[in-house]
Amino acid sequence: MAYRVAVDIGGTFTDFCVFDETTNTLETHKVLSTPGKPGSEIILGLEELSKRKGVNPQKISWFSHGTTVGINTVIQRQGAKLALFVTAGFEDVLELARLKVPDPYNIFSQRPQPLVPRERVYGIEERILLDGSVEKKVNIQSVKSAIKAAKAAGADTIVVALLHCYANSTNEQQVKQAIKQVDDDVEVTLSSDVWPVIREYERTVTATVAGYIQRRVANYLSAFQDALKQAGVPALPLIGKSNGGVMTAELGKTEPISMLLSGTAAGVMGAASIAQHSGRAEVISFDVGGTSADVAIIMDGAAAYGSGEMVGDFPIYVPTVSVTSIGEGGGSIAWVDDFGVLKVGPESAGSTPGPACFNNGGEKPTITDAFVVSGLLVSDRLGYGAVNLDLKKARASIRSLGDKLNLRDEEVAESIIKVAVSGMFLETSKLFSHRGVDPRRFSMVAFGGAGPMLACHLAKDLGLAEIIIPPTPGVLSAFGGLVADIRNDFIRTVMVDVNNKGLKSILMSVKTLEEEAASWLRDEQGFKGKSELLWSCDMRYRGQSFEIETIVKQSWLYDSSSEQIKAAFHEAHHQVYDHSDDHAEVQIVNLRLVIVGTVPKPSLPMTKERKSLATPSKNVKVHVDGNHHEAAVFDRQKLCPGDHFYGPAIVLQDDTTTIVLPKFTAYVDGAKNLILTANGIQDASR
């Protein structure tokens, strides 16, 4: 018997998903997160899984982990004290950025302060040209002077980002050697190692973020590895990546930028698996935890990818699952501003002290407290018994706002929920508009501890077709770690015209990238299973300023098939801009290669449906839409495929609570997903 285990550590709860390879069954669990003692929640969770579920840690063959430590380091500004070495004359690269106003509708808006202040940016005398040729070798004395100044300023990490190093990294490597000769203890991050791509600001800011989080991420991963050893887990620890894949935790210590968004990406991969299994082609994932709500578009079972995603105040340009994060989660604190306006978030109560209803010292009102006061959150086994809800504490926190707003407790609670949903509606609407798609055709996969509580509210405002609540929605991000493949991205800037001559000139780069990818999977990951290569190119019409990533076939690159590559780009350009120019010259700026090592996936069983009206265990009074209602309460474990019922209703389970609003119908499908729709049982069971 062997187990595959995936863990997702959130701001409030740490989620466990365990797949028994012998019985083909899934087990789930939650414990409270311990941000002050990283790794201890993993030990506690494994101990409880052993006692309650009989999971033997020594028989765990796979252990993957999604974390938010990198992104939290950036958001909270708790990373390394950086110095930045750049080509002399380009010291203002971070200050200039792209000269964009952060908020075009606010003339007083200001760009955030860079992670490296201007006084700790030092010019190095050297020069690489656009074609990669060395015009000027590194002046070692200028490096020594910069090191001396950086150390005097207290820098403990140096980021090196020299001009055109994507074309030739020789000078950056020489600078690193010079630094290590002076002080071998100083951490050094090279932009050519992080993401060797054209455009100076984009490469520099990405390298800066990588250097900023490297030390803290490495310490965290070491604690993670030690926790697994202490628990007796023999499996090689894996860490989730921003691109939805996984890699070894050891590699994550030196490539922290790759795991910056691992927690949110795993959730999207879990939702994509549910969408694919249920046969839904157009899906939006809705992941609400204790701190934030994350939404993403999924088409035909595949997540959307992008670069330039914002992490806190800064864009990063490594490939990531495209996720929009909203600073409103179950633990988000409600407050009244100086003008008497009710606001929700972005501050969160976290797991300590947590929402007031957790009875763990928290006193400030949160979204979770609002649901408790509304009567919609009634479970006495929240988080697998980790939390016992305290209605009196929740009411006391809500009343502190009611006195300021001159509203009754239930009115304040409903207002908090509406304000939170309005913020989610705004950001989600932007996502649909950006993609140019109609939300009325989309299904929502709602998950996370608070996603199923808020799903009906948001879906109603957006006009979505239906809501899918997976069997274990509270731990779907952890489930995403079980279905994630081993995956890595490679890039090479080539800057060639798309013709036979240009394509033949990059054939060596194509072969080199393939060799690097194969070596990474075989040597650094120790993977011996089946793998797949996915090629794409960043392309543009000659004279354009920005590129479109275009999917191409390997054979087109090897055969120098310029017409097929051009046709693919014309089609991609038309999809984005609704026009294309078949006669214009086309360029390839970057070659991109993704290697995917396919891992075994848990199979999700289907059960025959027998339609019947479900019987509630009891009825409770709730406050919804300004009125009191009788809501039926159901136990999720007792619902069978084919069961249906009508809102208002509350569905209880160990990992979350699902709220079914009035005028919604709920239906259990053959995969035991709970399907919610406002259009009746016929549409819900399609």
Read off the pLDDT of each residue in 91-103 and give the average, rounded to a whole number. Answer: 86
Which tens digit of pLDDT belongs to each residue from 329-341?
A: 888 999 999 889 9
Read off the pLDDT of each residue in 660-682 and give the average, rounded to a whole number. Answer: 86
Domain check: are 468 and 516 in the same one? no
591 belongs to a structural domain? yes
For 91, residues 6+ apart whose C-beta sits below 8 A from its C-beta are 118, 121, 122, 123
Read off the pLDDT of each residue in 307-329 and give the average, rounded to a whole number. Answer: 84
353 pLDDT band, cuts 50/70/90, is confident
Which tens digit of pLDDT belongs to each residue from 594-622?
A: 999 998 888 777 888 888 999 999 999 99
Pairwise pLDDT comparison (312 vs 477), residue with the higher score: 477
Count of domains for the chain:
4
Domain check: are 307 and 440 in the same one? yes
Domain check: are 453 and 493 in the same one? no
Domain check: are 471 and 573 in the same one? no
Distance CA 213, CA 322 (A): 21
List the domain range (segments joined by +) for residue 537.
486-597
Distance CA 98, CA 95 (A): 9
593 pLDDT band, cuts 50/70/90, is very high
Residue 537: which CATH number? 3.30.1490
Residue 470: which CATH number? 3.30.420.260
Residue 161: which CATH number? 3.40.50
175 belongs to a structural domain? yes
Burial class (CB in 10 A: 0-12, 13-18, 19+), 139: middle
Domain check: are 194 and 226 in the same one? no
178 pLDDT band, cuts 50/70/90, is very high
**Can you give the pLDDT at residue 456?**
96
Domain check: are 465 and 490 in the same one? no
Would you say the C-alpha torsion 498, 503, 508, 514 has a positive or negative sign? positive
685 pLDDT band, cuts 50/70/90, is very low
**Can you give the pLDDT at residue 686?**
40
**Can you give the pLDDT at residue 597?**
95
User: Of 596, 592, 526, 595, which is closest to residue 195 (Cα–Cα)?
Assistant: 592
At 171, the amino acid letter reads N
Question: With 60 as the cut, is the pLDDT of residue 16 above it?
Answer: yes
Distance CA 248, CA 267 (A): 19
Read off the pLDDT of each residue in 549-565 and give the average, rounded to a whole number. Answer: 96
243 belongs to a structural domain? no
Read off the pLDDT of each residue in 10-18 and give the average, rounded to a whole number. Answer: 82
pLDDT over 90, % of the chain = 66
669 belongs to a structural domain? no
Question: With 80 as the cut, is the pLDDT of residue 100 above it?
Answer: no
Chain mean pLDDT for the chain: 90
Domain check: are 523 and 555 in the same one? yes
Domain check: are 103 and 211 in the same one? yes
Pairwise pLDDT comparison (400 vs 327), residue with the higher score: 400
DSSP, residue by residue, 276-324: HHHT-SEEEEEEE-SS-EEEEEEETTEE-EES-EEETTEEE-S-EE--E
C-alpha distances (whole Å) from 254 to each of 242, 328, 432 are 15, 32, 36
376 belongs to a structural domain? no
**Can you give the pLDDT at residue 304?**
84
Question: With 70 as the cut, is the pLDDT of residue 11 above it?
Answer: no
**Can you give the pLDDT at residue 681?**
40
Domain check: are 32 and 15 in the same one? yes
Q: For residue 519, count other CB atoms closer than 10 A to its CB.
A: 12
Question: With 60 as the cut, is the pLDDT of residue 203 above it?
Answer: yes
Q: For the ranges 349-353, 380-384, 468-472, which has the lowest average pLDDT?
A: 380-384
Domain check: are 468 and 532 in the same one? no
Which tens digit of pLDDT belongs to each residue from 147-174?
A: 999 999 999 999 999 999 999 999 999 9
* Domain termination site, one of 550, 572, 597: 597
CA 594 to chain centre: 18
Domain check: are 69 and 84 in the same one? no
135 belongs to a structural domain? yes
Return the CA Rg of the chain. 26
Domain check: are 113 and 129 in the same one? yes
Read off the pLDDT of each residue in 469-477 and give the average, rounded to a whole number. Answer: 91
Read off the pLDDT of each residue in 90-118 and give the average, rounded to a whole number. Answer: 86
**Can you give the pLDDT at residue 256?**
92
pTM: 0.85
**Can you give the pLDDT at residue 286?**
95
**Can you give the pLDDT at residue 384?**
67
Question: With 60 as the cut, is the pLDDT of residue 500 above it?
Answer: yes
Q: For residue 127, count other CB atoms closer than 10 A to its CB.
A: 18
Exposure of 159 in the CB half-sphere (CA atoms within 13 A): 29
Q: For the ranges 99-113, 155-169, 171-185, 389-403, which has the lowest average pLDDT?
A: 99-113
Residue 38: which CATH number? 3.30.420.40
291 pLDDT band, cuts 50/70/90, is confident
642 belongs to a structural domain? no
646 belongs to a structural domain? no
Question: With 60 as the cut, is the pLDDT of residue 683 above it?
Answer: no
Q: Where are the beta strands (DSSP E) in 542-617?
A: 548-552, 586-597, 612-613
